Amino acid sequence: MLPTFEPKILAFLCNWCSYAGADLAGVSRFQYPPNVRIVRVMCSGRISPRFVLKSFQEGADGVLIAGCHPGDCHYSKGNYYTRRRLTVLGKLLEHVGLDPRRFKVKWISASEGGKFADVVKEITEDVKKLGPQNSLKRVDENE
């Protein structure tokens, strides 16, 4: 048994803004909890709802999605699709019993290293309070 619950959170970040923001957090040495694992995609518009569902299914205690601020998308409008798609997904997840604090969609620019660190802190603290995520986790060992 672990003395305290250390959640595991997956973050999907777009290459141009949010991944760069996460790098800047490093360059600026902003410290944040080591609970997040980052998956890089070229555009947040690539993030299929399936990735989020799969993450929760595999046992993620939280999922963070971040892309360029609306209007700043490197591919001009990818993040608008993200916004629409993931708003619907968020509502759906809530409907099936997932606490909305476990799923966050944020806009983080390449110069917002501090914001990235803050967002990670926030979701980690929230998820820590909520405890392990079991509502969507796969129970059957054979997929």
Partner 1 sequence: MKSGQEKVGAVLVVGGGIAGMQSSLDLAESGFKVYLLERSPCIGGVMAQLDKTFPTNDCAMCIMAPKLVATGRHPNIELITNSEIEKLEGEPGSFEVTLAKHPRRVSSEKCTGCGICAQECPVEAINEFNEGLLPRSAVHIDYPQAVPLTFIIDKTVCIGCGICEKMCKANAIEYDQAEEQQKIDVGSIILALGFDEFNPEIKKEYGYGIYPNVVSSIEFERLLSAIGPTGGMVLRPSDYDIPKKIAFIQCVGSRDEQCDKSYCSAVSCMYSIKEAIIAKEHTEGLDCHIFYMDIRTFGKEFEDYYNRAQEEYKIGFTRSRPASLREDPETKNVIISYVENGEPKEEEFDMVVLSVGIDAPKDAITLSERLGIDLNKHNFVSTKKFSPLSTSREGIFVCGAFSSPKDIPDTVAQASGAASKASSIISSERGKLVAKREIIPEKDVRLEGARIGVFVCHCGINIGGVVRVPEVVEYARTLPNVAYAEHNLYTCSQDTQERIKEKVKEHDLNRVIVASCTPRTHEPLFQSTTSEAGLNPYLFEMANIRDQCSWVHMHEPDSATEKAKDLVRMAVAKARLLEPLKKATLDVKRNALVIGGGISGMTAALGFADQGYKAYLIEKTSELGGKVRHLHYAVTEENPQDELFALIKKIENNENIEVFKDAELLSIEGYVGNYKTKISYENLEKEIDHGVVVVATGALEYEPTEYSYGEDRRLVTQLELEKLLAEEKINPKNVVMIQCVGSRGESVSYCSRICCTTAIKNALQIKDQHTDAKIYILYRDIRTYGFMEDYYQKAAEEGVVFVRYDVDSKPKVEITEGNLKVSVKEPNIDEELRLDPDLVVLSVAAIPDPNNEELSKSLKVPLSKDGFFLEAHMKLRPVDFATEGVFLCGSAHSPKFIDESISQAEAVVSRACTILSKDYLEAEGVISIVNSDICSGCETCILVCPFDAIDKDDKKKAKVNELLCKGCGACVAACRAGAIQQRCFTDEQILSVIRSAFQEVEV
Q: What is the phi/psi pair of residue 60, to 5°?
A: -65, 135
Minimum distance from residue 103 beta carbon to partner 1 (Å): 14
What is the contact surface with partner 1 in residues (CB under 8 A)? 6, 8, 10, 15-17, 19-20, 22-32, 34, 37-43, 45-51, 54-55, 58-60, 68-69, 71-72, 74-78, 81, 85, 109-115, 117
Whole-number Å distance between alpha carbons of 35 and 38: 10
Kindly give the residue spans of alpha helices, DSSP state H, lying in 37-112.
49-58, 78-95
- The CB-of-132 to partner 1 minimum distance in angstroms stands at 12
Q: How far is the CB of 11 from partner 1 (least distance, A)?
A: 9
Smallest distance from partner 1 to CB 49, Å: 8
Closest among 31, 35, 29 to 2, alpha carbons compared: 35
For residues 53 and 141, the answer to whether their CB atoms sit within 8 Å is no
Residue with tokens 């060992």: 141
User: Kindly report the CA angle at 13 between 118 and 89, in degrees rounded to 5?
Assistant: 95
